[in-house]
Amino acid sequence: MTTPLRTVMRPFGISMFSRVSDLAAEHRVINLAQGVPDFPAPPALVEAAATAMRQHINQYAPSPGLASLRAAVSTHAKMRYGVTYDPDTEVTVTAGATEAVWSTAAALLEPGDEAIVIEPYYETYPPSVVAAGGVVRFVPTTFPDFVLDLERLAAACNPRTRLIFLNTPGNPSGRLFTAEELRGAAELAERYDAYLVCDETYEHLIYDGRAHRRVSSVPECRERSVIISSASKTFGVTGWRVGWTLASHAVTDAIRRVHQFVTFAAPSPLQQAVAAMLDDAPRSGYFDELARGFAVRRDLLLDYLRRTGLEVAVPDGGYFVMARCPGDDVTWCEDLIRRPGVAALPGSAFYHDRTGGRDLVRFAFCKAFSTLHAAGARMLRP
Ligand SMILES: Cc1ncc(COP(=O)(O)O)c(C=O)c1O
């Protein structure tokens, strides 16, 4: 079959994520490939959405987002990180972080501009850059510590650099960038007049007493950063498609001009429900409880993986554990699906040069304890 797909988009093909999910469904396996919770969303959140629908909040939201959610996102940024964003002019609600990434790239890149993507990366970044006419420069980091080599980062930057993607905590690495790494990236952004696109989707999933650093809390970085986050992981509602950006007035204006033509607005009743949860979280202790529960899940999965003999990287945050697998990652994952009946994602999916992750595999632990135990038991079975 010949494809009408634009030439520049062809390298992206069908994502490894979809391929493994199809194979997993075919073999009825325990799916630790997908970063999707298999347990119910918080009842209060679901109730808030139902209430919003009953209150007839069912029509288009204003394109920048419901005022209630923009206010909640702004208050959260102020209370949690001490950064002030005007909810009217500096916060935009998008259809998930995915759309936020896409609209940011489309808003800020001129054809031929370059964007830095640190490997292993979340798969949306390269196609969003390329679709916007940009060019991706990759900067690899390696298992097990995934430390960002600032010299390599500097070598990848040049006067054409317009965006530097920073995903912290990272998917799939689980890594929280250190203050030094963030400072180094910020200095390069300053030197080349680039923007830091900070994907903080996992900002509330951080373990071992570590703290999330929001790059824009450094005053010099505020004007040249776009902070992206989402309800997907924080509230376990990946299907709701509610995310947001925080950026200076000028950058927000640019993002909104694209966003209005991409999705126009995210779902209204769901925005209203997320606003209620965000507002309530400091009182309810939701964020602490979330991180505590996920730390236990992480440790459970790490324990099972170690007992199977795999070398693991202990994640600082996020939903995933990276492990080193013996042999080719794709073959290893296919075998894992067929024999013990567990799905994981091949590490090469997260590197543009597939050899980068050829001996790595990603397991998701955003699962019910029973799922993790069942997967662990299968993998340990002789
Ligand atoms: C790093 C990262 N950013 C963004 C997303 C997408 O988030 P959303 O569901 O809000 O589009 C994901 C989802 O897996 C992710 O891992």
Same domain, 241 and 348: no
- Is 96 close to ligand 1, i.e. is its CB under 6 Å away? yes
ipTM over 0.90: yes
Band (67; pLDDT cuts 50, 70, 90) = very high
| Confidence at 137, pLDDT banded by 50, 70, 90 | very high
Token pair 């995903």 is found at 167
In a domain, 1, yes or no: no
Query: Cα(341) to centroid of ligand 1, in Å?
Result: 26
Average pLDDT over residues 20-49: 91
- Predicted confidence (pLDDT) per residue in 229-245, tens digit: 999 999 999 999 999 99
Which among 168, 231, 244 has a CA at the least distance from the CA of 200? 168
Decide if 302 is inside a domain: yes
Domain that holds residue 177: 44-284
> Which atom of ligand 1 is least distant from the CA of 95?
11
Is residue 255 one of the residues assigned to a domain?
Answer: yes
Q: How far is the CA of 26 from the centre of ligand 1 (A)?
A: 25
Q: How many domains is the chain partitioned into structurally?
A: 2
Spacing, Cα 161 to ligand 1 middle (Å) = 24
Residues 101, 188, single domain; the answer is yes
Find out whether the beta carbon of 243 lies less than 6 Å from any atom of ligand 1: yes
Where residue 328 falls among pLDDT bands split at 50, 70, 90?
very high
Is residue 380 a contact partner of residue 367, using CB atoms and an 8 Å limit?
no
Q: Which of 253, 284, 315 is the last residue of a domain?
A: 284
The pLDDT, as a whole number, for residue 165 is 98
Q: Tell me the per-residue pLDDT of 264-292, one tens digit each, with 9 for 90 and over.
A: 999 999 999 999 999 999 999 999 999 99
Nearest Cα residue to atom 14 of ligand 1: 35
Is the domain of 315 the same as that of 210?
Answer: no
Q: Does residue 305 register a pLDDT over 90?
A: yes
Question: Taking the alpha carbons of 283, 284, 287, 289 in that order, is the dihedral positive or negative?
Answer: positive
Asked if residue 2 is part of any domain, the answer here is no
Distance CA 259, CA 231 (A): 18
Q: Using CA atoms, how far apart are residues 197 and 216, in angstroms rounded to an integer?
A: 10
Which of the listed residues 284, 309, 332 is the one where a domain comes to its end? 284
- For 74-87, the pLDDT digits (tens) are 999 999 999 999 99
Long-range contacts of 207-210 (CB under 8 A, 24+ apart): 207/291, 207/294, 207/295, 207/298, 207/315, 207/316, 207/317, 208/295, 208/316, 210/176, 210/316, 210/317
Residues 23 and 63 in one domain: no
| Residues 265 and 349 both lie in one domain | no
Instruction: State the average pLDDT over residues 371-377.
Output: 97
Question: Cβ(316)–Cβ(209) under 8 Å?
Answer: no
Residue 273 and residue 310 in one domain: no
pLDDT at 104: 98
CA 380 to ligand 1 centroid distance, Å:
31
Q: How far apart are CA 38 and CA 230, in angstroms?
A: 18
Which CATH number do you get for residue 213? Answer: 3.40.640.10
Average pLDDT over residues 147-153: 98
Residues 142 and 229 in one domain: yes
- C-alpha 25 to ligand 1 mean position (Å): 22
- Pair (223, 338) in one structural domain: no
Q: With respect to residue 318, please indicate whether it lies within any of the assigned structural domains.
A: yes
Rg (C-alpha) for the chain, rounded Å, is 20
Cβ(272) – ligand 1 distance below 6 Å: no
Domain identity same for 74 and 125? yes
Out of 251, 284, 317, a domain closes at: 284
Give the domain CATH number at 363.
Answer: 3.90.1150.10
- Inside any domain, residue 90: yes
In angstroms, rounded to a whole number, what is the distance separating the alpha carbons of residues 286 and 44?
Answer: 11
320/279 same-domain check? no
Q: What is the rounded average pLDDT for all residues in the chain?
A: 95
Judge if 249 and 320 occupy the same domain. Answer: no
Atom from ligand 1 closest to the CA of residue 230:
10
The answer to whether the beta carbons of residues 347 and 359 sit under 8 Å apart is yes
Task: Give mean pLDDT, residues 16-37.
Answer: 85
Domain assignment of residue 311, yes or no: yes
On whether both 49 and 36 belong to a single domain, the answer is no
CB 343, CB 32: distance < 8 Å: yes
Amino acid of residue 123: E
Residue 263 beta carbon below 6 angstroms from any ligand 1 atom:
no
Predicted pLDDT at 339: 86
